[in-house]
Amino acid sequence: MVRHYLVTGGCGFLGSRLVSALLAAGHGVTVLDILAREKASAVPADVRLLAGDVAQPEIVARAMDGVDGCFHLAAVASVEQCNRRWAETHRINQGGCVNVLDAARLAGRERPIPVVLASSAAVYGASGAIPLDEAAPAWPVSPYGADKLGGELHARVSASTFGGRVTALRIFNAFGPGQVPDSPYSGVISIFIDRAMKGEDLVIFGDGAQIRDFVFVDDVVRGFRRAMGVLESSSEPRAAIYNVCGGMGVEIGHLARTVIDLCQSPSRVVHAPARTGDIRLSVGNPAAAHAELGFVPSSRLEDGLAATIAWA
């Protein structure tokens, strides 16, 4: 069935890929993004594009008008920026999420419009469980993680108090074409590929034995769409949370060597002091998303890396 979806943050790394997939499936799309003016030329012409901040309830309400479902991805996604601009990013990351849930409530005819939220593995913080499943204690250690957890709590309120249908996806380390390397807070894969292609040193923070769970952008997009499909077929209020991850731990040292090999690069691996507060082990358990959303990450790390290198 053809629908019209709102994608907040639709000009971003994950959002733009989601928009392309929705259009390819024949759906209509509205994008609300603070960067919309700057990035307008990169947005497909058939998208209804609104420039604005999700922290402004009026523009969120305008964007929600007439849509059948909402994917909420707009946020200040840099943990470091959120540390520096705590109160301001709280207004955007948690306040923006409440604005979206509230607008979905007010715009729905009989009940709120279904919403899929981009949450993050950052909600687990220093939880320490391996692998992390959704029942592990959520103990964020950053303003970013706390606000993502706050969004999940408001999703529960949407269901319990307003009859909403909301799913929050805890995204692990997403990577793939479209992720830019030019900020010190970009994902490690985009930084390593950029450096390997330029023949520059790959800098590992710490000993390189820290482990991450990487998930390819197209798998993340599939997770979003499956989550929406489940909400659309549900007649009951619902607030669910799922990990979106590959379920496999990769050492950063191994990643660096793999990138150098795939790029056939003369780059060397060097070490620098570990980042303050860097989490040692982060591996998710995708079993619940598999069982309840039918989500199976289909991309092998090497294939995802090859696709990202080809794009870079």
- Measured CA to CA in angstroms, residue 40 lies from 23, 47, 75, 123, 273 at distances of 16, 10, 18, 32, 40
Contacts of 96 (CB under 8 A, 6+ apart): 8, 53, 54, 55, 60, 72, 74, 75
**Tokens encoding 272:** 């620098």
| Residue choice 50, 153, 197, 279 for contact with ligand UD1 (CB under 6 A) | 279
Binding mask 224-253 for ligand UD1 (x = CB under 6 A): ----------------------------x-
The reply on whether position 173 binds ligand UD1 by CB under 6 A is: yes
Q: Point out which span in 86-94, 160-168, 202-210, 260-268 binds ligand UD1 (CB under 6 A).
A: 202-210
Q: Point out which span in 19-27, 32-40, 116-124, 294-302 binds ligand UD1 (CB under 6 A).
A: 116-124
Q: Point out which span in 40-48, 57-65, 104-112, 204-212 binds ligand UD1 (CB under 6 A).
A: 204-212
The reply on whether position 205 binds ligand UD1 by CB under 6 A is: yes
- Which positions from 46 through 65 interact with ligand UD1, judged by CB under 6 A? none
CB of 169 to ligand UD1, least distance (A): 13
- Which positions from 132 through 161 interact with ligand UD1, judged by CB under 6 A? 144
The reply on whether position 97 binds ligand UD1 by CB under 6 A is: no
CB of 34 to ligand UD1, least distance (A): 18
The reply on whether position 188 binds ligand UD1 by CB under 6 A is: yes
The reply on whether position 191 binds ligand UD1 by CB under 6 A is: yes
The reply on whether position 203 binds ligand UD1 by CB under 6 A is: yes
Q: Point out which span in 111-119, 130-138, 162-170, 187-195 binds ligand UD1 (CB under 6 A).
A: 187-195
Nearer to ligand UD1, 212 or 226 (CB): 212
The reply on whether position 275 binds ligand UD1 by CB under 6 A is: yes
Q: What is the 3-state secondary structure (H, E, C) of the chain?
A: CCCEEEEECCCCHHHHHHHHHHHHCCCEEEEEECCHHHHHHHCCCCCEEEECCCCCHHHHHHHHCCCCEEEECCCCCCHHHHHHCHHHHHHHHHHHHHHHHHHHHHHCCCCCCCEEEEEEHHHCECCCCCCECCCCCCECCCHHHHHHHHHHHHHHHHHHHHCCEEEEEEECEEECCCCCCCCCCCCHHHHHHHHHHHCCCEEEECCCCCEECEEEHHHHHHHHHHHHHHHHCCCCCEEEEEEECCCCCEEHHHHHHHHHHHHCCCCCEEEECCCCCCCCECCECCHHHHHHHCCCCCCCHHHHHHHHHHHC
Nearer to ligand UD1, 121 or 155 (CB): 121
Binding mask 75-94 for ligand UD1 (x = CB under 6 A): ----x---------------
Contacts with ligand UD1, residue ranges (CB under 6 A): 79, 120-122, 144, 173, 187-188, 191, 203-205, 210, 212, 252, 275, 278-279, 282
